Amino acid sequence: MKQFTIPFTYRSPLISAIKNKRKEQDKMKKDFSPTLLDFGSLKIYLARHFGFCYGVENAIEIAFRTVDENPEKRIFLLSEMIHNPQVNADLVARGVKFLQDTKGNELVSLNEINGEDIVIIPAFGTTLDMEERLNQKGIKTEKYNTTCPFVEKVWNRSEQIANKNYTVVVHGKPTHEETRATFSHAAANTASIVINDISEAIILGKYITGETSTSEFYTAFAGRHSANFDAAIDLQKIGVVNQTTMLASDTQAISDYLKQVMISHYQLNESNTEDRFADTKDTLCYATNDNQSAVYGLLEQSADLSIVVGGYNSSNTSHLVELCEEKLPTFFINDASKIISKESILHFDMHEGMEKESNNYLPVNQPVKILLTSGASCPDALVEEVIKKIVGFYGTNLEAVTLDI
């Protein structure tokens, strides 16, 4: 796989050494057991896969290179480069400005930019409408487009099934930048709709079978279907694609459910299922799959708690948190500063949408066992800082570690 040039401050010598060793031992990536960092009174189990993925490193390389090569130009990011506050703050510190927030709300008017400016498209991609608006301003979007190739793969798959007259059902978070971009590309070719979860898939299924009148469809899915969507016709032949960072098991469950609805309603069999339901396989990216599989492997280890590091608005990170929360106390933090002391930690509660402080989060009995992972947009250096912070509570340092890789 291509090696990217990114700021060295995002790297971790310790974690790089661990990852390189594991790659040597497991070239086919079949072993999802964690790595043990043993400090005696503290044992940290590190997930097999975590941290920067191909698309993130590609985006970071392009963004920082663009800044370095264009010192005299105004440089804008269409929205957050990736969902990591440190990386975005570093770019802002270099003079880069955001045109939109993560919800697509305007921060800088497009009227203020011109063809001499540079606008970087983030890793999530953007809508066709926004791309056209930028092009009309003379902005060369293709030169500074950091859209992840695995996101573009979903767009290509959507176009393929659109050409066969399927309606595209996008499983994704409706307000997420990537979902908005994928919906835009799908809707340019065929009828399209966004659903958030299995409960909405069940609702959609009732419109397919006629159990619920299609007249109610437009209220239930307002703002999430393509123009001129005809629920009486466009739900007769569908295919499911997804936001690449969704939980794999959720996408599979949605796809399986809607496939069964089509089979039952239209009395299909194995030979003619594709007459109504497209075989899209799994459109999750490799990193999302690997990171989620690594968490399942991590959770096979008994432990006292888990810590997940990443941006609070990171979709792929939030799903790692969800998996961990099902098994044991889990603390979602965006950097080591949230670990206030051995007694107190400030962490993000996804269910309440806010940070909260928890006390006595580390058990008294030793050895303390902690599961640790991070999202695909989190620099390894942040994970190392978390390890250093916790290790310091036990009167030792990284040099004292015994590794079981």
Beta strands in 29-138 (DSSP E): 35-38, 42-46, 75-77, 97-98, 118-120
Q: How many CA atoms lie within 13 A of 221 on its CB side?
A: 27
Residues carrying an active site annotation: 178
Over its C-alpha atoms, the chain yields an Rg (Å, rounded) of 23
pLDDT band at 1 (very low <50, low <70, confident <90, very high): low
Q: Which amino acid is at 56?
A: V
Section 379-403 average pLDDT: 96
CA distance 81 to 111: 22
CA distance 76 to 99: 6
The answer to whether the beta carbons of residues 323 and 246 sit under 8 Å apart is: no
CA distance 136 to 148: 24
Which DSSP string do the residues of 139-187 spell out, in sequence order? --TTTTB---HHHHHHHHHHHHHHTTTPEEEEES-TTSHHHHHHHHHHH
Ordered structural domains, the chain, with CATH = 8-53+286-404 (3.40.1010.20), 54-136 (3.40.50.11270), 149-275 (3.40.1010.20)
CA distance 115 to 137: 6
Please tell me the pTM assigned to this model: 0.93
Which DSSP string do the residues of 179-238 spell out, in sequence order? HHHHHHHHHTTS-EEEE-SHHHHHHHHHHHHTSS-GGGHHHHTTTSB-TT--HHHHTSSE
Neighbours of 6 (CB within 10 A): 20
CA 127 to chain centre: 18
Cα–Cα distances in angstroms (integers) from residue 324 to residues 50, 319, 372, in the given order: 14, 9, 10
Q: What's the whole-number average pLDDT of the chain?
A: 96
Q: Parallel, antiparallel, or unpaired: how do β-strands 238-242 and 167-171 relate?
A: parallel
Section 353-374 average pLDDT: 97
- Taking the CA atoms of 280, 286, 290 and 292 in sequence, report the sign of the dihedral they define: negative
Give residue 379's pLDDT: 97
Cα–Cα distances in angstroms (integers) from residue 213 to residues 204, 208, 209, in the given order: 11, 9, 9
Give pLDDT tens digits for 115-153.
999 999 999 999 999 999 999 999 988 999 999 999 999
Token pair in block for residue 35:
């790595």
- Strand, coil or helix: 99: coil
The answer to whether the beta carbons of residues 128 and 201 sit under 8 Å apart is: no
Give pLDDT tens digits for 265-302.
999 998 999 999 998 876 778 889 999 999 999 999 99
248 contact partners, CB below 8 Å, separation of at least 6: 282, 284, 288, 289, 292
Section 21-27 average pLDDT: 93
Give pLDDT tens digits for 176-231.
999 999 999 999 999 999 999 999 999 999 999 999 999 999 999 999 999 999 99
Give residue 215's pLDDT: 94
Give residue 3's pLDDT: 82
Section 343-356 average pLDDT: 97
Give pLDDT tens digits for 250-267.
999 999 999 999 999 999
Section 295-315 average pLDDT: 97
Token pair in block for residue 207:
């419109």
Section 353-376 average pLDDT: 97
Give residue 285's pLDDT: 85
For residue 45, what are the β-bridge partners?
Answer: 36, 371
CA distance 369 to 386: 14
Quick one: what percent of the chain has pLDDT higher than 90? 94
CA distance 61 to 55: 10
